[in-house]
Amino acid sequence: MISKEDIIKRFVSYVVIDTESDPDSETTPSSKKQWNLAQKLVEELKDIGMEEVTIDENAYIMATLPSNVDHDVPTIGFISHFDTTPDFRGANVNPQIIENYDGKDIILNEEQDIILSPDYFEDLLLYKGQTLITTDGTTLLGADDKAGICEIISAIEYLIQNPEIKHGRIRVGFTPDEEIGRGAHKFDVNKFGAEWAYTMDGGRIGEMEYENFNAASAKLIVKGKIVHPGYAKNKMVNSMLIASEFIQALPKNEIPQETEGYEGFFHLQSMKGEVEETILEYIVRDHDKVLFEERKNLILETVKRINTKYAKEVIEIEIKDQYFNMKEKVEPVMHIVDIAKKAIESIGLKPEIKAIRGGTDGSQLSYMGLPCPNIFTGGHNYHGRYEYIPVESMIKATEVICKITEITQERAKND
């Protein structure tokens, strides 16, 4: 299959390119530096022998591997994003290669005493004896989702080099700005032309998902009135204290650090305040659509109650839906999940089918008419300095991609 050396070389060549997206930008891609990797990927797709390689004005990349059989096979796709999150520093990534991991602490940065330890990150012990790629402790790694891109291109290259593996028409798509929720916004589903696709954007080896959160954002602007504190009796209105009232009114245990599995949450991700004005920014998440709507209504009702208490609109509220649970769109075509499950099993892994406690491009694409389950890339601890990925997991992900193409072709031939 794919050699370890080739996977490492390709992956490292991607992660050293800074592609951090910018939520404050209105352009697509949101940061000019995303073009640097996008253009590299275009040339690489051409070099390995892909056809119909295109990149549009928004940096969306598409390419085709033609069918090598003479019977009808559904066109399928594989999709990943090349931006990295703005949650943590993505510039000057310096990947560390840990050969034959011994199960002990990994010193990421001796000078700053930054350690990747199995005492805290227990999953590390699953990879004793394997090759890990880590950060140097000062940046993220970027396996989310440059690992997915690496795996897709490596798998397609392998199929091109081994034409005895029979497959139908395969489409590949790479997108910008997934990390700021815009990865699918300008994706041309009709141009892509696949009946279904898979995002290679998951976590640990063996995982597959076709359920994700329903998601919304909520922005609250709390208004106050500044008066000299020495003469503030019955005059000052402190917006920060009103904001605190709102925060305390929401369920205290329904927050990210207190929830798991299918449990939803309210997450206060930003708070900026002075006496005159405080801004709260929340994200609201739930897998269940009814509970999701109830969460949004609770926010609105709480705002209404506080405004009534103060006899004026001290809180302005804006709630925006961001994406929805793809389960609704995937369940009618569950054979696409069955194919991926069979592919994972065929390479000796046990599929771990679970719900995403987040979202991917696939959730939006599913509602745009392209059903799109999500498959593991092998990475851990995304969006921070402790991110790492086992090379052996990346190799397994490339094998899954190849097997999906084989199984799809065999299924079509036997129908």
Paired sense of beta strands 207-211 and 352-355, if any: parallel
Sequence-ordered list of residues with C-beta below 8 angstroms from that of 208, at least 6 positions apart, any chain? 202, 337, 340, 341, 344, 351, 352, 353, 354, 373, 374, 375, 376
Whether a cis peptide bond, with omega within 30° of 0, leads into 145 is yes
| Distance from the first to the final alpha carbon of the chain | 29
Residue 113's CB is within 10 A of a number of other CB atoms, namely: 9
Beta bridge mates, 352:
207
- The neighbouring-strand residues paired with 98 are 132
Q: How far apart are CA 315 and CA 224, in angstroms?
A: 9
Q: Angle at the Cα of 334 (from 332 to 340), degrees rounded to 5?
A: 150
Residues with active-site annotation? 83, 178
Query: What is the C-alpha to C-alpha distance for residues 76 and 409, in angstroms, rounded to an integer?
Result: 10
**CA–CA separation, 235 and 226 (whole Å):** 8
Rg (CA), the chain: 23
- 227 SS3 class: coil
DSSP string, 280-312: EEEEEEESSHHHHHHHHHHHHHHHHHHHHHTTS
